[in-house]
Homo-oligomer: A and B are copies of this chain.
Amino acid sequence: MHFASDNSGPVHPKVMQAMVAANEGYAMPYGADALMVEVQARIREIFEAPEAAVYLVATGTAANSLALATMCQPFHTVFCSPVAHIHEDECNAPEFYTGGAKLTLVGEGDKMTPEVLEAAIAFEESRGVHGPQRGPVSITNVTERGTVYSAAEVAALAAVAKGYGLPVHLDGARFANALVATGASAAEMTWKAGVDAVSFGGTKNGLMGVEAVILFDPEKAWEFELRRKRGAHLFSKHRYLSAQMLAYLEDGLWLETARAANAAQARLSEGLRAVAGVEFLYAPEANMSFAAWSRTAHRRLHEAGAQYYLWESVLEGQDPDEMLAARMVTDWSARDEDIDRFVELVKG
């Protein structure tokens, strides 16, 4: 019963096999390996973007920070949701990589709306040299609350950005989950909607530690390469990153694992929804849900060894009926029996 995060499950066996297979003889280091040529070709094909620059790094924070640093100047501000990973979970890495750019928090929830984004961008207008200058808009899809922007919603946000000449970044740590949730194509969800750069996640969806950064306009490709090296994110034994990503894209494995993760979440959500007293905080649309139930039920789960994210210790406090909210994330390896048992424990 491990629903703490989709980053704590195992690597998909096919990916591991590909790494083992790559472990033969010598290979050119630093991204000049033969496998990387294939990775680039496959990603360009999947995203229908024959000119795109494609790079691999090992963490989502690296992908986001390097992409943003390439898209903005230190005197800019990045527009994002207040629950964005780049704001809440990266220990100031975007500020570090951009040389001190600011993050402007747009709205109050998981999703930005075009109206609120427009207002936030417009607000920076009147201060001339004194205020931060407008920089990229960063959209997270799947959001950090488990909801999903449709391609049309992404396009609407990007249109606002474009109206001000601002570039658009997509934090796609769970991009595959968003795609299978919406049925949109990779291109529709990104450059066709106005996205300029994508952090294309793999680690949360079955890889060991690989994220791709895709720059649809390759103009700043060399700058990205320099920033990656300067950030210490260029791997000498790069072939093992390439091998992971290639296996991920082979025969649609990346969509298969995302479908499995989303299906597991659907099973979990449906189960919980049927339990009296359970309240959902957000509509679970991909592989993550937020719901609240009684402290008593949390204690039962805790004693049974269930793993999930809870904002407060279940052991503190006294009121057994108090509602406490939990976050549950499913990955591709989640098992039905664990899900069902979890639901049973909530039920009591």
Contacts of A240 in B (CB 8 A): 11, 208-209
Is A29 close to B, CB under 8 A? yes
Contacts of A208 in B (CB 8 A): 19, 237, 240
Residues 82-106 of A, flagged 1 when their CB comes within 8 A of B and 0 if not, give: 0000001111110111111111010
Report the separation of the CA atoms of residues A89 and B77 in the bound assembly, to the nearest whole angstrom.
13
Contacts of A153 in B (CB 8 A): none
Is A75 close to B, CB under 8 A? yes
Q: Is the CB of A95 within 8 A of B95?
A: yes
Q: Is the CB of A25 within 8 A of B10?
A: yes
What's the nearest-Cβ distance from chain B to residue A242, in Å? 12
Q: Is the CB of B7 within 8 A of A90?
A: no
Q: Which of A47-63 contact B (CB under 8 A)?
A: 57-62
Contacts of A26 in B (CB 8 A): 2, 4, 8-10, 307
What's the nearest-Cβ distance from chain B to residue A313, in Å? 11
Is A74 close to B, CB under 8 A? yes
**Residue of B whose beta carbon sits closest to that of A17:** B20
* Most chain B beta-carbon contacts within 10 A, residue among A23, A29, A65, A95: A95
Q: Is the CB of A225 within 8 A of B20?
A: no
Q: Is the CB of B95 within 8 A of A100?
A: yes
Is A114 close to B, CB under 8 A? no
What's the nearest-Cβ distance from chain B to residue A165, in Å? 14
Is A132 close to B, CB under 8 A? yes
Count of this chain's copies in the oligomeric assembly: 4
**For the side of the interface on A, what is the size category?**
35 or more
Of the listed stretches A228-236, A271-279, A291-299, chain B binds A228-236
Is A223 close to B, CB under 8 A? yes
Report the separation of the CA atoms of residues A92 and B231 in the bound assembly, to the nearest whole angstrom.
9
Contact A129 B226, CB 8 Å, known A8-B29, A240-B208: yes
Q: Is the CB of B229 within 8 A of A73?
A: no
**Residue of B whose beta carbon sits closest to that of A58:** B58
14 further contact pairs, Cβ within 8 A, besides A92-B101, A129-B234: A2-B26, A8-B26, A8-B237, A75-B229, A89-B131, A90-B130, A90-B232, A97-B232, A98-B100, A129-B226, A204-B236, A208-B237, A208-B240, A231-B231
Give 23 CB contacts A-B under 8 Å: A7-B29, A8-B27, A9-B25, A10-B26, A11-B23, A30-B129, A59-B236, A61-B234, A62-B233, A65-B232, A88-B130, A90-B130, A91-B133, A92-B230, A96-B99, A97-B232, A100-B230, A129-B225, A129-B226, A130-B229, A209-B236, A209-B237, A209-B240
